[in-house]
């Protein structure tokens, strides 16, 4: 553990000391268990393995200048996990159980929370899946809820340096009436080919379009899309994207700075009008987008000065990260300090 170089961490897995598990059977959740094994013992016919009956969450803990550990908007993640559970017919994890498991996982692995100023954080990954045996396509009656943590650096290489993204025309991530609004594993499986092909061609990620008409922007791989036009923050409204907690927070921050904010369908050609564009999410925080390439029309949408993040999104980024680490006052009440 002493040999972790906090400043050069990537967004990867590093073993920590403990994780948390909790099992649901006979209509109720059992006691929280602490484990130091990295493996789960899963039934060979578990619905989570066969039918993708699973959902996960991602949130972060940050160490402040005062040495204290802060969790960002964990209640929102708890609510979203309940929503995903409803979406694929799983038992819901009550907010209190979610809190206990997440806080315990962080506390027990306190030494893995990266130091203030390193730019790194502790990523928390709650996971819920059907582990009851079923062969016909049916929801399980038993579930596992588990939480592991791992220290991470930037999701996109270069951190706050602009990245280039490719518009996906060959693949859809989620159908209009499908599961795109839930954080379920199947959406990520569906996005893999598109993402890896884009990466192989040198792009940081994919911009998915609405699956029905291919006219509107949906989201950017594992992050929401936003654009800045003058003093307005614009982000897509769509039933097939994940409701991002980071995006929701940026909208509130932008509003508090006197910016106009719009959540509405964003037509592809509106990219021509944006001064800045970015991808936002827990893992990505804000990743400025330099160019978006449309392979079918050969159109290249460019944003801002080459190689530099836009000034508006930098301002939003600094306030968001400031709140998360405790450098900025928590005026919105988003932060919980771990005792």
- Beta-carbon neighbour count of residue 62 at 10 Å? 22
| Segment lying near ligand PLP (by CB under 6 A), choices 97-105, 125-133, 238-246, 322-330 | 238-246
Q: Which of 48, 52, 132, 281 binds ligand PLP (CB under 6 A)?
A: 281
Q: How far apart are CA 271 and CA 279, in angstroms?
A: 14
Q: Is 313 in the site for ligand PLP (CB under 6 A)?
A: no
State the catalytic residues: 183
Closest Cα to residue 161, out of 273, 9, 279, 295? Answer: 279
| Segment lying near ligand PLP (by CB under 6 A), choices 102-110, 115-123, 245-253, 311-319 | 245-253
Alpha helices in 40-164 (DSSP H): 47-50, 74-87, 95-108
Q: Which of 167, 184, 245, 323 binds ligand PLP (CB under 6 A)?
A: 245
Q: Is 168 in the site for ligand PLP (CB under 6 A)?
A: no
What residue number has its CB nearest to ligand PLP?
281
Residues near ligand COI (CB under 6 A): 58, 222, 281-283
Binders of ligand PLP in range 26-85 (CB under 6 A): 58
> Is-contact 294 301, C-beta < 8 A?
yes
Residue with tokens 């948390």: 20
Q: Is 154 in the site for ligand PLP (CB under 6 A)?
A: no
Rank residues 103 and 301 by Cβ distance to ligand COI and give the closer one: 103
DSSP 338: -
Rank residues 85 and 134 by Cβ distance to ligand PLP and give the closer one: 85
Rank residues 247 and 313 by Cβ distance to ligand PLP and give the closer one: 247
Q: Is 235 in the site for ligand PLP (CB under 6 A)?
A: no
Residue with tokens 């990523």: 123
- 3-class DSSP state of 277: strand
* DSSP tally for the chain: helices H, then strands E: 6, 18
- Beta-carbon neighbour count of residue 73 at 10 Å? 22
Q: Is 244 in the site for ligand PLP (CB under 6 A)?
A: yes
Q: To the nearest whole angstrom, how small is the minimum distance from the Cβ of residue 136 to ligand COI?
A: 30
Q: To the nearest whole angstrom, how small is the minimum distance from the Cβ of residue 75 to ligand PLP?
A: 12
With CB under 5 to 8 Å by kind, the binding choice for 245 among ligand PLP, ligand COI, none is ligand PLP
With CB under 5 to 8 Å by kind, the binding choice for 81 among ligand COI, ligand PLP, none is none
> Is-contact 121 335, C-beta < 8 A?
no
Rank residues 259 and 284 by Cβ distance to ligand COI and give the closer one: 284
Burial class (CB in 10 A: 0-12, 13-18, 19+), 298: exposed
| Segment lying near ligand PLP (by CB under 6 A), choices 63-71, 90-98, 239-247, 262-270 | 239-247
Rank residues 134 and 163 by Cβ distance to ligand COI and give the closer one: 163
| Per-residue tokens: 161 | 């340096």
HSE-CB of 42 using CA atoms within 13 angstroms: 21
Q: Any idea how long the chain is?
A: 339
Q: How far apart are CA 274 and CA 262, in angstroms?
A: 13
Q: Is 282 in the site for ligand PLP (CB under 6 A)?
A: yes
State the DSSP H helix or E strand holding residue 53, giving kind and residue range, or none if neither. none
Binders of ligand PLP in range 204-223 (CB under 6 A): 219, 222-223
Cβ partners under 8 Å of residue 62, min gap 6:
69, 70, 72, 113, 116, 121, 122, 324, 325, 326
Rank residues 46 and 245 by Cβ distance to ligand PLP and give the closer one: 245
Q: Is 184 in the site for ligand PLP (CB under 6 A)?
A: no
State the residues that interact with ligand PLP by CB under 6 A: 58, 219, 222-224, 242, 244-247, 281-282
């Amino acid at each position: 553990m002493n040999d972790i170089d906090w400043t050069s961490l990537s967004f990867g897995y590093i073993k920590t000391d403990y994780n948390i598990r909790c099992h649901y059977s006979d209509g109720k959740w059992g006691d929280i268990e602490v484990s130091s094994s990295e493996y789960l013992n899963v039934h060979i016919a578990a619905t989570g393995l066969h039918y993708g009956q699973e959902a996960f969450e991602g949130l972060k803990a940050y160490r402040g200048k005062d040495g204290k550990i802060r969790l960002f908007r964990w209640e929102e993640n708890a609510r979203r996990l309940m929503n995903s559970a409803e979406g694929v017919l799983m038992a819901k994890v009550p907010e209190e159980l979610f809190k206990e498991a997440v806080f315990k996982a962080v506390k027990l692995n306190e030494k893995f929370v990266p130091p203030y100023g390193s730019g790194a954080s502790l990523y928390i990954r709650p996971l819920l899946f059907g582990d009851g045996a079923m062969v016909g396509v049916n929801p399980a009656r038993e579930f596992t809820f588990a939480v592991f943590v791992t220290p991470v650096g930037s999701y996109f290489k270069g951190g706050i340096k602009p990245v280039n993204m490719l518009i996906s025309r060959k693949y859809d991530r989620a159908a209009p009436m499908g599961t795109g609004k839930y954080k379920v594993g199947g959406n990520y499986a569906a996005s893999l080919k598109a993402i890896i092909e884009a990466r192989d061609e040198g792009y940081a990620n994919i911009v998915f379009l609405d699956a029905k008409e291919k006219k509107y922007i949906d989201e950017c791989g594992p992050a929401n899309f936003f654009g800045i036009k003058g003093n307005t923050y614009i982000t897509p409204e769509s039933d097939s994207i994940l409701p991002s907690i980071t995006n929701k927070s940026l909208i509130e921050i932008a509003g508090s700075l006197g910016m106009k904010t719009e959540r509405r369908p964003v037509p592809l050609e509106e990219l021509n009008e944006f001064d800045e564009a970015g991808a936002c999410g827990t893992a990505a925080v804000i990743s400025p987008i330099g160019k978006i390439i449309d392979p079918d029309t050969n159109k290249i949408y460019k944003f801002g000065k080459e190689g530099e993040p836009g000034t508006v999104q930098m301002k939003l980024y600094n306030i968001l990260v400031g709140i998360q680490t405790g450098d900025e006052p928590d005026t919105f009440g988003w932060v919980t300090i771990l005792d």
